[in-house]
C-alpha cells in the first residue's frame, strides 16, 4: 500500500509541486466551495494511479489543487462510498495520499438525514462524534503499516475540539445557527426503514449518512486534525416520514451551500 500511495502522490506532484496543508472532501451536492478555490491544477480521478472513480451522479470526480483563503489546499470534488463496490481501503486511499502530499488538517462535508426531531432541512450540523459499529468493514483491518500510525488508534476525540470551537465562533460572527451532534455511518445505498430510524435515534445518533466515518478513522490514525460538517438534506422522523428523492436532497444541499461555503472558507483562513 505504501508503494501505491507514493505512486499516486508522485503523479500529483508532477503537476503541482506546492505542499497542500489542508485537505477538503466535498460531499453530495456540496461542490460550491470549489468555486472559491484559486485552482492551479485540476486532475481527473481516472488519470491518478490506483485512484477509485466516482460513480455517483452528483460527484464530479476531480482533484483540485490551489489556494483557498490564502492557504494551499487539495480538494476532492467527489468522494467514494462502500456501496459503490469499493473496499474501505479503497474508499480511504485518497486520504492517505493527501497526507503523503503534506496535508495536516482535513475538512469534510456530507449530506445526511436528520434523526433529531429538533433539526430542520438545510441545517448545518457539526459532527462531534460518530457511530461506526454498523459498518461491515473497517479501513484499518489487515496487515498493519507502522508508518500510518497506531495499530489501535484512540477514538475518544476523532473531531478536533479547537476546530469545532472555531467553527462555532465563525457561525456566530456570520449570523447563522449551527447544530452539533452525532453522525452514524451506514453502508447504503438504500435508505433506512422507519424501524431502523427509531433504532438509530435510540442509539444516540442525530444524523445518518453513508460516508465520512471511514475517512475520519484513517485521518485520525495518521494524526490529521479533522473537522466535519453535515448538511441535513431530509428528515428521518418515523412519525412524519416522507419519501426522499435525489432532487429534493440536492435542493436542500444547495440551499445550505452558501452557509457551508462561508464557514469552510473562514475556517481555512484561521488555520
Q: Give the alpha-carbon dihedral of 257, 82, 120, 160, to 10 degrees.
A: -70
Q: Which of 56-70, 88-102, 137-151, 255-269 has the least mean pLDDT? A: 56-70
Question: Which range has the worst mean pLDDT, 51-55, 166-170, 234-238?
Answer: 51-55
Class of domain 2-269: alpha beta
Residue 28 has a pLDDT of: 75
pLDDT value, residue 15: 93
| HSE toward the beta carbon, residue 19, CA cutoff 13 A | 7
Rounded average pLDDT over 189-194: 94
pLDDT band at 246 (very low <50, low <70, confident <90, very high): confident
Q: What is the rounded CA–CA span in Å between residue 264 and residue 69?
A: 10
pLDDT at position 56 over 70: no
| pLDDT (average), residues 89-96 | 97
Q: What's the mean pLDDT in 13-26?
A: 95
Mean pLDDT of 54-72: 83
Residues 106, 75: contact at Cβ < 8 Å? no
Q: Grid coordinates 484499518 are at which residue?
A: 140
Q: Reply yes or no on whether the pLDDT at 57 is more than 80.
A: no
For residue 141, what pLDDT is reported? 96
Amino acid at each position: 500500500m505504501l508503494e501505491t500511495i507514493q505512486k499516486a502522490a508522485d503523479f500529483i506532484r508532477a503537476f503541482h509541486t506546492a505542499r497542500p496543508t489542508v485537505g477538503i472532501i466535498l460531499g453530495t451536492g456540496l461542490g460550491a466551495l470549489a468555486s472559491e478555490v484559486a485552482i492551479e491544477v485540476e486532475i481527473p480521478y481516472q488519470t491518478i494511479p490506483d485512484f477509485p472513480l466516482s460513480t455517483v451522479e452528483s460527484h464530479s470526480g476531480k482533484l483540485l489543487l490551489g489556494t483557498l483563503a490564502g492557504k494551499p489546499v487539495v480538494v476532492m470534488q467527489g468522494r467514494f462510498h462502500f456501496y459503490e463496490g469499493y473496499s474501505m481501503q479503497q474508499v480511504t486511499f485518497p486520504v492517505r495520499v493527501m497526507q503523503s502530499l503534506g496535508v495536516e488538517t482535513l475538512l469534510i462535508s456530507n449530506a445526511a438525514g436528520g434523526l433529531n426531531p429538533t433539526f430542520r432541512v438545510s441545517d448545518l450540523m457539526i459532527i462531534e462524534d460518530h457511530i461506526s459499529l454498523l459498518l461491515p468493514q473497517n479501513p484499518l483491518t489487515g496487515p498493519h503499516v507502522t508508518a500510518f500510525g497506531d495499530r489501535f488508534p484512540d477514538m475518544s476525540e476523532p473531531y478536533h475540539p479547537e476546530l469545532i470551537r472555531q467553527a462555532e465562533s465563525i457561525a456566530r460572527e456570520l449570523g447563522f445557527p449551527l447544530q452539533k451532534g452525532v453522525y452514524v455511518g451506514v453502508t447504503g445505498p438504500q435508505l433506512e426503514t422507519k424501524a431502523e430510524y427509531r433504532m438509530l435515534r435510540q442509539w444516540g445518533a442525530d444524523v445518518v449518512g453513508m460516508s465520512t466515518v471511514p475517512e475520519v478513522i484513517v485521518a485520525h490514525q495518521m494524526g490529521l486534525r479533522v473537522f466535519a460538517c453535515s448538511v441535513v438534506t431530509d428528515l428521518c422522523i418515523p412519525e412524519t416520514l416522507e419519501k426522499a428523492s435525489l432532487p429534493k436532497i440536492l435542493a436542500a444541499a444547495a440551499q445550505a451551500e452558501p452557509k457551508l461555503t462561508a464557514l469552510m472558507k473562514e475556517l481555512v483562513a484561521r488555520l
